[in-house]
Amino acid sequence: MLSSSSSKPPTQQLLQSADLISQGAEAAIYKAYLRQVSASGHGIDHCAALEASEPVLLKYRFHKHYRHPSLDASLTRQRIAGEARALMRCMRSGVTVPGIRMVDVNEGVLGIEWIDGKSVRQLLPGGAELEDINELEEVDENENGAADPIADYGVSRDTLMDMIGVEIAKMHLADIIHGDLTTSNMMLRKKTNDLVLIDFGLAYHSTLVEDKAVDLYVLERAFASTHPDSEPMFAGVLSAYEKRMGKHWLPIKKRLDDVRLRGRKRSMVG
């Protein structure tokens, strides 16, 4: 007699065996390990070729009971497929992003490469994310050792800002707008020390200068609200971005100035 778990689709079985990392209003994040599955017509059969021990991050867009079921299913499929397309376009253009490991639009699951490292937010002053005891212990160790956490990765703060600017420029040259550029959505990978852009859930394709300027403005505001004395750091990001963008930079710079002005006016009005 088959158990209830074995009768579930492979993706649901994978979620059951995974560890919940975090959960927001739209999706839950899990860490799982891909194992060989039998052919069943579901969306993760291609995972059979992967090593059984490979860790993956699963982004599960769970059902929203406040939406009509057919609308919910349609929106979930569109968003999973859209995020996967944005990642694929970035990879083809040389942007450092997590690799795609599985896509199951029917179950609302996107599986991507697990990035072993820390978010840029954790590595910069004022941005330590104290979400659990382990992170508190790490902060204590850093304070006792009086060491800059970035130093553990063998890069300077200026180099890190350059890396951020270059990756965003490569993404914009591919006409991908991230939609949620913050220091939480960038990771510095251990061992290789490369910068990885993550979380493309709000990403979309656009050639508009306005959209690229707004992307940069969102990141500038994230720096200002999260990291003290961030002006020199963001200036370093823009300098590297400018060099990579070349002739495309000037119209974006002009539009960024306009976006900043609109933002200040909104702040004054309240």
- List the strands of the sheet with 100-104, edge to edge: 19-23, 28-33, 55-60, 109-113, 100-104
Q: Which two tokens stand for residue 123?
A: 């590595």
31 to 92, 110, 115, 116, 190: CA distances (angstroms)? 26, 12, 11, 12, 18
Q: List residues bridging with 28 in a β-sheet.
A: 23, 60
- Verify whether residue 19 is a known catalytic residue: no
In angstroms, the CA 39 to CA 45 distance is: 6
Amino acid at residue number 157: R
Single out the catalytic residue among 175, 180, 194, 258.
180
Q: Which two tokens stand for residue 57?
A: 């991050």
Write phi, then psi, for 53 (nearest 5 degrees). -95, 5
- Catalytic positions are 180
